[in-house]
Structure 1
Amino acid sequence: MTKRNKIIYWIATLWLALGMLSTGIVQLIKMDNEVTMMKNLGYPLYILTILGIWKILGVIATLLPKLPLLKEWAYAGFFFAMSGAVFSHLANGDGGKDLFGPILLLVLTFVSWYFRPADRKLISVNL
């Protein structure tokens, strides 16, 4: 892995971790803005607890060394959560302000996943 790729990986991963951790905490404590947004999107409020817990666990998984299978699951979870957020906002007719955060986290998820070092990847086995 080149030094450039390592730098890209760590910048994307740290920003992704910060974004997921902060939104996870906001969802867990059920801040008024999050509650209003979920009601506006038509989701039950208990989804905030589920998303908050899984985001925080995903951050831990992506930052810990090794555990490549767990990291794959975390990245997949981030992708599903953020792409679901984008489509939910689009279906609700929300504007760019509501789409910016989920799209940014979706891009950071992809960049972090793509540039991850070899020891953070699953080993490919040809059968």
Structure 2
Amino acid sequence: MSEKNKKIAYWFFTLWLSLGMVSTAIVQLMKHPEEVEKINQLGYPTYFLILLGVWKLLGVIAVLIPKFILLKEWAYAGFFFAMSGAVISHLVSGHSIGEIFPSLLLLSLTVSSWYLRPANRKF
């Protein structure tokens, strides 16, 4: 893959990841009834929605701003742990693939964005 194509792919995956994280963060911060029901079904307290929402917004800022490479690594790690934890929580709870897919998609976008990041965004 050429450097130009790699850069285009990086921004494609990173912008989709950012959009997904921001949109889910907003729903979580608003404590949408469906989100409250889902988080409770998974066995987590409702206040966990606020933590996830704030962390996701801060993570998106960290991934998108220039420089602060170590902070970006932490943001990617946080996204990875949050989304892999969500996938595992849904699996353990016996949820269908339809309920697991959004978390799996965000996990895939996280890994793709991290893997394709340009040299000036690597630690």
Query: The TM-score by the shorter chain falls in which range?
Result: over 0.9
RMSD: 0.8
Alpha-carbon distance between aligned partners in 2 of 1:99 and 1:21, rounded to the nearest angstrom:
18
Q: Give the distance between the partners of 1:66 and 1:121, measured in 2 at CA.
A: 10
Note the C-alpha offset of 1:100: 0.5
Aligned to 1:54: 55
Q: Who is 2:68 aligned against?
A: 67
Q: TM-score, normalised by structure 1?
A: 0.94
Q: Return the offset for 1:69.
A: 0.2
Q: Could you tell me the percent identity over the aligned residues? A: 61
Aligned residue identity for 2:13: A
Match of 2:14 in 1: 13
**1:93 corresponds to which residue?**
94
The letter for the 2-side match of 1:93 is: G
Match of 1:79 in 2: 80
Aligned AA (2:23): S
Residues 22-70 of structure 1: CA distance to partner in whole angstroms, max 9, x if unpaired? 0011111100110010111111001000000000000000000111100
Structure 1 residue runs of 5 or longer lacking an equivalent are 123-127
Distance 1:54 1:70 in 2: 13
Give the Cα–Cα distance (whole angstroms) in 1 for the partners of residues 38 and 115 of structure 2. Answer: 31
The one-letter code matched in structure 1 to 2:90 is H
The letter for the 1-side match of 2:65 is: L
Equivalences, count: 122
Which stretches of structure 1, 4 residues or longer, exceed 2 Å deviation after superposition? none
Verify: 1:35 aligned to 2:30, yes or no: no
Partner secondary structure for residue 45 of structure 2: coil
Q: Which runs of 5+ in 2 are unaligned?
A: none
